[in-house]
Amino acid sequence: MSIINVLDQGYVRLVNHMGSDLTVVNAARVSYAKQSEELSERDIRLIQFLAREGHTSPFRHAIAQFEIYAPLMVARQWWKYVVGAAHYEGTGDSLEAWNESSRRYITEEPAFYIPQAGEWRAKPESSKQGSGEPIAWELGEKHTEALMAYVELGIANYEAALQDGICAEQARLFLPSYGMYVRWYWTASVQSVAHFLSQRLEHDAQKEIQLYAKAVLELIKPLFPVSLEQLVAESHLVPQSH
């Protein structure tokens, strides 16, 4: 499986990858001029040691590349991991790249994430961010219909601007932003992916980005099973159904 559907129209697709758990082992042992041809129990213990002691640079020699289609509100949460990749403690990771569609050059049919009536959540009782339990279906239906009307108006204004000869990079101002789907390529080291997963699989992460994180985990775990087991909390490694 190389693609997993998320939300109503989104997905995560594994485009490419470089390396394996063995890559991590051999990167760590290069200073001793040693190399393993097959992953052994001794190699697994080395990966466990590297993760436990915070010797993280060997995990940056294994790479995964994804194509992601998600609402802008998810993309902007995700983007901060690229900005912070070289700065969070103990990494110095520069092996991270992000290329995103912008609608400056194309007028692709806009797509939007619109929660169904039963998918709206209440604000949390004891926090300024996040969400609580689902709201009443009737209230959710009201806001689903309101959002649909808002999106339809934005699309109409966007298309009218294009028809009037307004350039695409300005016409896009009429499109409602946070629910609009965007597409991007994300290339990151196994360490960076694990850092993202460790935070966005947490129970208090926004539900929508949790769903994308679960898809990323399902796609990458078979490629780097030992490394992911050591770098991501055990509670997050339970197989997910879609």
- Which of the residues are catalytic? 200
Helical H segments across the chain, by residue range: 21-29, 41-53, 72-83, 137-163, 168-171, 190-200, 207-220, 225-231
C-alpha closest to that of 144 among 123, 118, 109, 124: 118
DSSP symbol at 179: T
CA-angle at 162, arms to 161 and 166, nearest 5°: 70
Give yes or no for a contact between 65 and 17, defined as CB atoms under 8 angstroms apart. Answer: yes
If phi > 0 it is left, if psi is from -120 to 50 it is alpha, else beta; for residue 90 that is: left
Pairing of strands 10-18, 3-6: antiparallel
